[in-house]
Structures are given as structure tokens and as C-alpha cells.
Structure 1
Amino acid sequence: MEVDDRVSALEQRLQLQEDELAVLKAALADALRRLRACEEQGAALRARGTPKGRAPPRLGTTASVCQLLKGLPTRTPLNGSGPPRRVGGYATSPSSPKKEATSGRSVRRYLSPERLASVRREDPRSRTTSSSSNCSAKKEGKTKEVIFSVEDGSVKMFLRGRPVPMMIPDELAPTYSLDTRSELPSCRLKLDWVYGYRGRDCRANLYLLPTGEIVYFVASVAVLYSVEEQRQRHYLGHNDDIKCLAIHPDMVTIATGQVAGTTKEGKPLPPHVRIWDSVSLSTLHVLGLGVFDRAVCCVGFSKSNGGNLLCAVDESNDHMLSVWDWAKETKVVDVKCSNEAVLVATFHPTDPTVLITCGKSHIYFWTLEGGSLSKRQGLFEVPEDFGPVRTVAEGHGDTLYVGTTRNSILQGSVHTGFSLLVQGHVEELWGLATHPSRAQFVTCGQDKLVHLWSSDSHQPLWSRIIEDPARSAGFHPSGSVLAVGTVTGRWLLLDTETHDLVAIHTDGNEQISVVSFSPDGAYLAVGSHDNLVYVYTVDQGGRKVSRLGKCSGHSSFITHLDWAQDSSCFVTNSGDYEILYWDPATCKQITSADAVRNMEWATATCVLGFGVFGIWSEGADGTDINAVARSHDGKLLASADDFGKVHLFSYPCCQPRALSHKYGGHSSHVTNVAFLWDDSMALTTGGKDTSVLQWRVV
């Protein structure tokens, strides 16, 4: 924070120098204009004679220009090195940046309102008084910030020491006076529509009201949005960002908490909670002015006892938990909650003396009695794999639903423990393979997690953490062994029944994009981003492998691989859109087209090939489609594209730009697709959305 403050101070000083350079240039330009005007006026007067009673104006000279600039302060360079050079009457650093003369508005845009306010406080020349105070109604008036000259028919004001002359129109000049009071405009402004929603860093901030409106917030506005009527209402009681929101059990009263802020004059705006009526939009109560620190991050009404109590947590170092009798605007009790971030604060659904807070690595149960809060720490049967608690939702009875930071949802209670309800991946997901004879499939991704799922129960049968981020997976034809390729060049063999590690191998040091056993289980092909395919012989049902050789010939990384039905050869695609055929026994390329022309392929996962080329749209990029899969009955072909869509074609798909059904659901690129062994389901994986979607084939 000290470094930030020092950098901020240096930035302010730099902006001061830049602003004053602009002031200097503007003053110099103004002086030169006045000099030319004086010379022209003097020459004209001399030509027709000087009127009686008025002395001829003095001609402008270089000395008069210097006199105008006299009094501007001398400033040394920020870095303190080198003598200041003087421009007119102003000293600057030799390295000061040159800037065009700018208006006050354009200068101000370089500074935030808070920084501009602090700069004004530091600069004594910016201290001005109102033009309405001590103004003169005489022909020539003068205040500390405004000079009215009848002779010139002008008013000159000063912004940060810079003179800003303004000419008065002739029709107004005779009646102009600094003492004349202005009037308020007859029109007003009213907020009509607010765009946006704050969801990136706030929780539990979207509710449906009995009026049919949804209520949420963005910036310092609480929005009540009627979707049916396409109409918004706005609560505008806050003066800085709203951070949390809670609905009273009466579904009318709303509490919102805000962060600390500052006014444009630099005065602090303390964080607080506002209680307001969602029908009239009137403020009912304001709580905690001068009590909360930094921001109010959580609020919650008691669920029983008429909702008479409100709990709140601020963002101080101790994250103070406080309970309020909000109708009386009095604090009942407060206590230090946690050194870690607090994400949720809520009352027990039936007992107003019990509160629950949870956040990073903790969940606490608080009991309110005798004017104090006592704490009991909740202990979960929660494995580390699931991550810390993110949020808690109340179910029937004492049931709780716990959302975690690793995209899992647990169900249970403090007394009975918790079981997994929903599990997912937390980082980019590419690996997908289906079991050869069961309603099971495996997924693996950048989060180093390998899940074996049951498509019937929708739950993982087992999960395992591996040492490296995973990229690809493939089952042995027996289904008893699973190969997993990683991004480091290592690949693993896992026992699918015990999920024990069978073996670890390394081929190169780049990611393994594909691992595929031959249909007869005699070979394993490992395609790498080092442009090579490593071939292994397989024994003992996939539990023992020995490297046979490597296939060299591609000039780019391997992307996809398919085996022939009789395991006599395999075909590969590469990153430069090349199709090559290989003999696994010799690891040599098959160059004879006739040898593979009529080959029957066990799978169709290569995105390039005659049977699938219809998946490509006109003008498509070679990376637009990430994966393709043929159903086991050979009738369907599914593709996963880079635009969040899954396409379903008829197989073979060998007509240009073939027709397809298109399906959404993923929010990012779809990375992989596969059919279950009986073609009853198709599975797709999302990249950045980390999701797995299961599609019923009907």
C-alpha cells in the first residue's frame, strides 16, 4: 500500500506539471493575442487621433509578455536531476512531455475525480471563493476567481491558475453584473433505464418479487425490472457501489449494503445498509453509518420472528459480524467473524437465535444469547477434492446444500455429514472416452482430475487426481484398463475397477493429443504434439505395454487417430490438415492409396476424411471443428465445433456442406464428442465452460 501511495503521489505531481504546462502555453498564447490586439488598436488610434480624456493604450512588448507571466511558480523536475529550464516565467523539467494547449475539460480527463479532488486540496492556487460572495456591482467588479472588465466587455475566470477569458455578447454587456442571481432550470432529469448487472464478484443478488419484477443491482442503483412489461424502476438511495442484497420475509422490504466511497470534494462516504420499500422505493432506515469498514459484503434478514433482525458482515480485516434491530436502527451485538473472506451470512430458517456464516475454508454456526454471539465451527466430511465452501442453501428440515469452489454441490446436514450431489471439472476439459461395453464414460482435463462416470446415475463411479493436466483418454477393448494422455508427454494406464495406477510412460515432452488401443487390443497408438505417433505392443489385457517404434512423417502435431476394423493399420490427422496411413507392425507409412482405399474403419474420429468431409461449412477454418464421432451402428455422425455447437449428420457424410441438426448448450468451444457403446446417448465436453453434456439419441 505504501508503494501504491507513493506511485499515486508521483502520478499526481506529474499531472500537476502537465496541467501547469498547459496553463503556461495557454497564458502565453493569450498574452500574444492581447499583444497583437493592442498593437492593432494603438496603430488605429494613432491614425485617427487620441480621444479627449483617455490616454492612448500602451503597446505590447516582450517585456509586457514577461510581466504577464511573472508570478507563475518555478517547479523542479520530479526526479530531482538536472536544472529546471524556464519557459517564459515557468520552470519545467528538461524531459517534460510536450502537450497541446488543452481545455479544462480535456485536462481533467487525465485524472480520476478522487485524484483531481486530492490535487485540488494540495494546490493552494486552486482555492477559490464563490463568485456570488464579495462581488461588486460597479462597472468594474473583481473577486478572487472572476474579473469583470467593462472596458474589454469580458469576464475572466481562473482554473487552477489558468486565466480563461470570455467575451460577453453585446446584447448582455449593458446589464451584466456579477451580483445577479441565476435561476434553477424549469426541467429535471430522471433515470429511465439501467443497462448491466453485477455478477462477477457478488452472490445472492437476484430475486423475484411478488410484483413479477426481478430485483438486482449494478453500480449504486438497485433495479426492479418487469420483464413482461419491459419496464424498470430504480432505488437510488445509495451513493456508491452496492455489494449485497437481501429480501425480507414479507417480500416487500429490501436491504442493500454498499462500499465505502468519497465525494468529489474528497469527503468519505461510509459504508452502510439501507432498508427500503420495494413498492414506494422510499428509504425506511439507514444502518451502520460509521460502524462498518470498507464495505458491507453480506446481509440477511431473520426468517422467523417477523424478520425483526438483520445480520451484516463487513470487509474489515476481522470481517465483523453484527446483528441489528433494523426497525429501531440499533445494533444488538457484533463479533469478529473470520480473517478469511466471508461469502454468506444468513439466519436459521426457524430459529432467530442461530446464524450461519461461511466463506473461504470455514463455516460457522452462531448462537445469539444474552447479548452475545457464541461460535461453533462446522466440520464437513468434505474431501479436499471438492474445494472450500462457496455458498450454502437451505433445504427441508436440517438439510443443507453446499456449493464449493471446485464446481461441486454437496447435500446433507451438520449431524449426518454430506454426500456428493453434483460434481464437475474446474478447468478446461478435452479428454473424453466411452466404455466399450457399459453405460460408462471417462473425462479428464486441465484440473488434473480423471472421472469415471455412470451415465445412468449421473454420478462419478470414482475420481482420481493425477500429477499433470490431462488431454486425452482411451479404453482398452476389454474395458479393464484406461490410458490417459497428459500435456507433458507422460501418459498413464489406470485400472478401471480399482482406479489404481498400472503404469506410467513418457514419449517426448509435449502434450499427448490422442491415445487409442487397436480393436483387437494388440496395439496402443500414442499421438503427440511433437509430430510423432508412438506405437506399443499390448499384453495382459492392457496392463503391460512395450514400445514397438514411432511413426515419423507428419510435419505438424497429431490431432486425431482411427484404427482399421481388423487392426491392420491406422490413419492420422495433423495440425497442418494432413492425412497419413500407417502400418503398426512396422511403424512405416502406407503410401499406396489402393491399400487403404476400401479399408473399413472401426471408428471415425478423424475430422478429415472422405466419410466426414461434409461436416465442413464453406469457408471454414481448419480449426473450426474440434472433434467428430460416428455412432457404433454406422448411421450417425456428431461433430463438436469451436462455436459452442454440436451437429448431428447422417453417416457417411460425404457431400459438401451436408445438412445437420444443430444444438446449443455449451457456452464455449466444444472440445470432444462420443457415443455410448449402445448408441443410446452421446456425450460432449466443453472447453472453457468445463461442462459435460449428455444427449439422448431419440
Structure 2
Amino acid sequence: MANTRPREAQYNGEEGVVKLYLRGRPLNLYVPTPLRETYSPTGPSPAPPAKLKLEWVYGYRGRDCRNNVYQLPTGEIVYFVAAVVVLYNVEEQMQRHYLGHTDDIKCLAVHPNKLIIATGQTAGHDRRDARSWRLNPPTDPLSPEAEEWPHIRVWDSVSLHTLHVLGISDIERSVACLAFSKADGGNLLVAVDEAPDHNMSVWDWSRGERGYKLLETKCSADQVLAVDFSPMDRSTIITCGKNHISFWSYDSGMLAKRTGIFENRERPKYVTSISFTDTGNVISGDSNGNLLIWHRGGNTVDKMVRGAHEGPVFSILVQKDGTIITGGKDGNIVEWDRDLERTGNVMQVPDQYGPPRVVTSGRGSQLVIGTIRNCVLEGTFTFDMRPVMQGHTEELWGLAPHPSHHQFLTAGYDRTCYLWDTMAHTIVWSKDIGEPAQSAAFSNNGDVVIIGTTSGRWLVMDAETREMYSQHQDGNEPIQVLKFSPNGQYLAVGSRDNHIYMYQVSEDNRRYTRMGRCQGHSSFVTHVDWSTDSQFLQSNSGDYELLYWNAGLSRQIVQTSQMRDVEWATSSCTLTFNTLGIWPEGADGTDVNTCTRANNNSVLVTGDDFGKVKVFSNPACFQKARCLEYGGHSSHVTAVSFIHDDSRLISTGGRDTAVMQWAVTSTPTSSSSQH
């Protein structure tokens, strides 16, 4: 990091040039002629004329989390993705969202009263090096600064109000697993940290704003996958994970640990799941596919079922009538009676959804299943499963709104493209394109969609039938951006190999003929905009350049002052005069990943490295521009885009794999904004 103090933008009125400094590097931006006389970088910034409300979240985190889907008495399914807890009423097609977290949620527990929920998060973006800041905890546990620390939030699922915030300065890296006590009506909460010793802490969670930590102990040097209180014995806690299952007795502020004894049985590498039978015995599943019942109050095995599943047993559900349902990596969901004899009821989760990570009771005889491929399913042993939520499973960068329908397309490193309907909140279609996708674009009439991949290939596809028309190759690096000209006659293909490839479009957007290559960037191309007359391009690159091009000639325009009054059809370049105000003081040029302008030109929206979506008045050409900011993503926000009528904004998270749909509402001019 540079040691120099951030320099304010400087304006040279004679030349009409404002210098923006990013990490000490100057960038010259030419002020449009009508503003030259009156412009000042520190001029007054208007409040954004619109605000956002999170309307729908597409996605679920099942790939690496467990026990994180529950049915609530309200009829809602509760689960999480990114930094959002989703409460989804499938029957009524309604979602509510708990937005108290600032970073990845890793675990969830429901209180015995089924109303109160606890969720645990990882360290925030500025707090990754946990050990160094444990020494200086924030004084106010409810301050914005405190929210960047790993912590537990206890909240009301009806009102969505935060009741208590626990563990700030106690938890080192992330909350791995959580459970409420059961035998005493839920007075206690146990948490396991992902620190090297996997510290386990027991909380009187309802005492004061921050709860009261009753005790803390080192749990295991190895990974801990689950923790639970016995429903019968108030003082018994079970933990399991790599190389262990442990039985803890809680008495007089002390925890005594006994390790599970497998005797002459094969010792599994992982004990992957635990639950309790209706008589209070512990039942465990392991990485060898076996089920074991452990004596109540002891640490020895009472019964073993070998090969209950082929591969790990991820989930064990004990139902009210004592029957047991298990889900395994083999994709099977199996029903057992209370003596662990098979009842004959088995269902197979279709391969495309991935094996079941968690199985829980739904409404009536329904089961709700969360899968490794980030899907939530509903089904019974007699009726087929149906997906109620599907999501991407790997990093997500490609986003393209349909030019005339309430639809948008996403494309990710999981090699999958989804076309989503913003009104029905459903997938219209999905397509496996065979390799990781980096970018996407619709043709101007919406008939054709183009997908750019990480290998330099780009695919031309019918937007309705998914028929592949053609494939093209430009370099061997990812295709970062695809942009059709406003008149529909050209396509600009921006690559990570520093070049923009120019194509002539013909035959109803089905045929693409290369016209030339724009060479001049000294780093990878990040953003491209067309001029409204389809004659010019502006582009940004990874080393914070802003270059201009004659599109027809594929040639750089070196006299950049000539471009000051060009009208641009879109505003996706993050480094321009109109976006000067989106850069916070001391920002790195990579901190803002994406920006977009509303089709009615009133609003500019950005997505940044810190999980924030920010709304500015357009143009945002004054430093310290006023903005409204919104959380929910827990990773880099990789793309933002308005749908065609500006009624919704779509944002994608990179590693959080979440797609968020925001309702856009206009604000009165007197509305206050936060910075």
C-alpha cells in the first residue's frame, strides 16, 4: 500500500481537465463543455433520486454448510446465502430477509420455541487477521465497527429484530456451528469457533445485549462439523467432526469431555452428523456410511448399521413418531424405524441437484432438503421432489438483463447459465455450456445471447431454444466484457489479453465477422461503453486507464480532449468523468468492480469489493458524492444491472454465488441520504 496521503481531485479550468488520483496515480478526465465554467470537484452532490429494497434472493449455501434449512411455524423455510438469512414462504411465493450480518453466514440454529433464531458469521472484510484485533475489541457491541467482527446474532423471526449480539472479541475466525439447549426450554446456546483449537463456548444468550458467556474450552484440534444439546439431559453436549465424537457434561461452570470409544469397530475419518433418538440416545453418521447408536449418558456404542449409505452420511432427522431419516453423499434419502431397520422408503435426489446436505421436516409429511449443489427441494417418499430454490455453485461474474422482458441471464464458473424471471422468481431455463463463463450479453432484440468463457471462447446461442449457432475464439484469456452497439450492427469483445475485438453483426444477430482489434491497453480490459451513435468506444483496464476508440477503424483516439462531449449509451466504465464521485477517499482502483446507469439516466449504481451495492445520483461527477448503500452480499459484488424498465436492479456476488433482486423506488427530493 502507498504511504502517501490520498490526494483530492484537482481541476484545471483552463484545460477543462480534472485529475483523479487512485493510489497516487493520476487519471485525466475531461469535463464536458457545458460544465467547464462552473465545475468544481468539491461541488454539491445531490441525494440519489431512488432507493432499493431487497425483494428476492436467488441461491442457497449448501456446498459447505450443514443443518441450515428449517421449516418454521409461519410456513416459511429459513436458510441462508451470502450475508442474508432468507425466510421463504413457498406456498405464497413470498420472501422476507434478515439483513443484520455483514459477511458470510456459516451456521444457523432454531430455538425450541421455533420463533427465535441464532446465526453465526465469519470475520468481516476488514477483519480477516483475527488474532491481531482480538486485543482491542470495540466498546459498543452494536456499532458498525463491531459488526465486522465474527459474531452470533440472535433475532426474532417474526419481527426480524436483532435481540442480542454475542461473541464479539470472543470468536476468532468464524462460527462453525451453533445449537440451542432443549431440555431447559432453550436458555443456553453453544457455539464452536473455527479457530485452530475450535473453541467451544456456552452462553446464557438472553442476558443483556451481549449475552453472558458461561464458559469456553478447547474443543478439538480437528475440524468440528456439528454440535448439539441432548433433548433429555440438560447438561449433555455432543460434538463431532474429523477423527472424533465427543460427549461433554456441563456442571458447575465446568465442561468434562469423554471421547467416543469405537472399540473393535472401524474408526471413521469423519463423524459427519449427529442427532438424538426419542429415548435420548445419540445417533451418529460417519464418512464410511455407517450409523451408530451410542448409550445415553455414556460414550460407548449400543448398535451399528454398516453401509447405511455409500459414502458419508450428511444428515440425520429423527421425526416426532421416532422414525429416522438419513441423507447421504450417495444421493439417497432413507427411512428407518426406531430400531434402525429399513422401512423400505427410499428416494433418490436427481443428480443435477447434488446429494442432500440437510434433510428436515416440512409441512405435513413433506421433507425439505438442502443439497450440495446449492438447491432447496421439497418432496415426500410418494411424490417426486421439486426444486423450490436453485442457485449457482461457483464464482459468478456474467449478468445480462433482457432488453424487453422482465428477465435476466446469469453465467458462472460452474459452467451453467440461468435465465431468470423477475416476476415469477423462477428459472425459465438453464444450460450447461461445458466450461466456466465470465461474461454475457443479449442482442438488442433479445433473440440471441452471447456467453464469454474463461478460455477466450464465446458462444452464440438462441435465447429461447438454447440452440448453439456458433463459437468463436479470441485469445486464450477470459472474455471480460461483451457489448453490442446501440444500432445492433457491431459487437465489442473485451479480453483479459488487453485487446478489444470488433465484430460486424449480420443475419439477425447470428453471424459475426471480425473487423479488427483495438490494441493500446497495457493491462486487461475491464469495462466497455458504446457512444449513442455507435461510432466510438470508451474502455477501462486493470491499470486504471481510460481509452477511447474509433469503432469502425478499431483504432485508438489519442486526442482524448476531443471526446469530452460524446454521449455514451451506457455507463459501465467505472473510471470516467461521470463516475468520479463513486471512488471513496484513498480507494484502490480495483475497489469498485462494476457500475451501471438506469435506462432513464437518473441513477448510477455500483458494486464493490466489500459486498456493498451503492446508489448515486447520475452523473456522480463530484468527489464525496452522496450515496445510499446496501448490504447483503458477502463477497465482491461482481455485476449490477437494471432490467429494461428500471423497476428492478439485479446484483451478483462473486464467491458468495448469490443473485439479488432489488425493487427500485423513487425518493422525494428532500430525502436524506447516508454516506
Partner of 2:84: none
Task: Please say if 1:492 is aligned against 2:459.
Answer: yes
In structure 2, what is the equivalent of residue 214 of structure 1? 189
Q: Which moved more, 1:594-603 or 1:505-514?
A: 594-603
User: Which structure carries more helix by proportion?
Assistant: 1
Pair 1:666 & 2:633 matched: yes
Q: Does 1:334 align with 2:304?
A: yes
The alpha carbon displacement at 1:373 in A equals 2.2
The yes-or-no answer on 1:245 pairing with 2:227 is yes
Question: Contact between 1:363 and 1:377, CA under 8 Å: does it hold in 2?
Answer: no
Q: Once structures 1 and 2 are overlaid, which stretch shifts more, 218-227 or 529-538?
A: 218-227
Distance 1:618 1:227 in 2: 40
TM-superposed deviation, 1:281: 7.9
Pick aligned residue for 1:380 from 348, 352, 355: 348
Deviation at residue 228 of structure 1 after TM alignment? 3.4
- How far residue 364 of structure 1 moved from its aligned partner, in angstroms, is 4.2
Instruction: Determine if contact 1:272/1:288 at 8 Å carries over to the other structure.
Output: no
Q: Quote the offset at 1:511 in angstroms.
A: 1.2
CA distance in structure 2 between the aligned counterparts of 1:284 and 1:612, rounded to whole angstroms:
59
Which moves more between the two structures, 618-627 or 633-642? 618-627
Alpha-carbon distance in 2 for matches of 1:194, 1:587: 56
Cα distance change on mapping 1:508 and 1:318 into 2, 3 Å: closer
Deviation at 1:623, TM superposition (A): 1.3
By how many angstroms is 1:562 displaced?
A: 0.8
- Alpha-carbon distance, 1:592 to partner: 4.9
Q: Secondary structure at the match of 2:357?
A: strand
Partner of 2:602: 635
Contact 1:628/1:640 (8 A) holds in 2: yes
* Alpha-carbon distance change, 549 to 529 in structure 1, aligned in 2, over 3 angstroms: same
Tell me if structure 1 keeps the 8 A contact 2:285–2:312: no
1:350 aligns with 320
Q: Distance in 1 between matches of 2:457 and 2:347?
A: 38
Shift of 1:244: 3.7
In structure 2, do the counterparts of structure 1 residues 444 and 207 end up closer, same or farther at CA, with 3 Å as the change threshold?
farther
Tell me how far apart the structure 2 counterparts of residues 195 and 441 of structure 1 sit (CA, whole Å): 42
Q: Which residue of 2 aligns with 1:322?
A: 292
Say whether the 8 Å CA contact 2:226–2:241 is kept in structure 1. Answer: no
Shift of the 282–443 alpha-carbon distance from structure 1 to 2, 3 Å rule, reads: closer
Q: Normalising to structure 2: TM-score of the pair?
A: 0.65
Which of 179, 185, 205 in structure 2 is aligned with 1:226?
A: 205
Match of 1:310 among 259, 281, 285: 281
Distance 1:258 1:464, change over 3 A: closer
1:359 aligned partner:
328
For 2:576 and 2:174, the matched residues in 1 are separated by 44
Native 8 Å contact 1:512 1:528 kept in 2: yes
Query: Contact 1:433 / 1:441 at 8 angstroms: preserved in 2?
Result: yes
When the two structures are superposed, what TM-score results if normalisation uses the length of structure 1? Answer: 0.63
When residues 553 and 251 of structure 1 are mapped into structure 2, their CA distance, relative to the original with a 3 A threshold, is: same
- Are the counterparts in 2 of residues 407 and 423 from structure 1 also a CA contact under 8 Å? yes
- 1:286 & 1:552 partners in 2: Cα distance? 65
Please tell me the residue identity of whatever aligns with 1:660.
C
Check 1:693–1:252 CA distance in 2 against 1; reply closer, same or farther (3 A cut).
same
- Is the counterpart of residue 552 in structure 1 residue 524 in structure 2? no
- 2:428 equivalent to 1:428: no
Gaps of 5+ in 2: 1-166, 666-675
Give the structure with the higher percent strand.
2
- Cα pair distance change 1:253/1:412, threshold 3 Å: farther
Shift in Å, 1:415 = 1.6
Tell me what 1:70 maps to: none
Q: Give SS of 1:542's match.
A: coil
Corresponding position of 1:479? 446
What residue in structure 2 maps to residue 135 of structure 1? none
Question: Could you say what the CA RMSD is over the residues aligned between the two structures, in angstroms?
Answer: 3.5
Listed one character per residue, the Cα deviations across residues 51-108 of structure 1 (whole Å, up to 9, x for unaligned) are xxxxxxxxxxxxxxxxxxxxxxxxxxxxxxxxxxxxxxxxxxxxxxxxxxxxxxxxxx
Higher RCO structure, 1 or 2 (CA under 8 Å, sep 6+): 2
Following superposition of structure 1 onto structure 2, how do residues 78-227 of structure 1 map, counting pairs within 5 Å?
Answer: 195-196=170-171, 205=179, 210-217=185-192, 219=198, 221=200, 223-227=202-206
1:697 maps to what in 2?
A: 664
Tell me by how many angstroms 1:433 deviates.
Answer: 1.4
* Aligned mates of 1:359, 1:613 — CA distance in 2: 52
Q: 2:275 aligned to 296, 300, 316, which one?
A: 300
C-alpha displacement of 1:246: 3.6
Question: CA–CA distance in 2 between the matches of 1:624 and 1:632?
Answer: 24
Give the C-alpha shift of residue 696 in structure 1. Answer: 1.6
1:414 aligns with 2:389: no
- Return the offset for 1:604: 0.6
Task: Output one character per residue of 1:3-40: Cα deviation in whole Å (capped at 9) or x when no partner.
Answer: xxxxxxxxxxxxxxxxxxxxxxxxxxxxxxxxxxxxxx
Deviations 1:107-136 (A, max 9, x none): xxxxxxxxxxxxxxxxxxxxxxxxxxxxxx
Deviation at 1:601, TM superposition (A): 1.5
1:678 maps to which of 645, 648, 651: 645
What SS is found at the alignment partner of 1:494?
A: strand
User: 2:650, 2:241 → 1: CA distance?
Assistant: 45
Shift of 1:545: 1.6
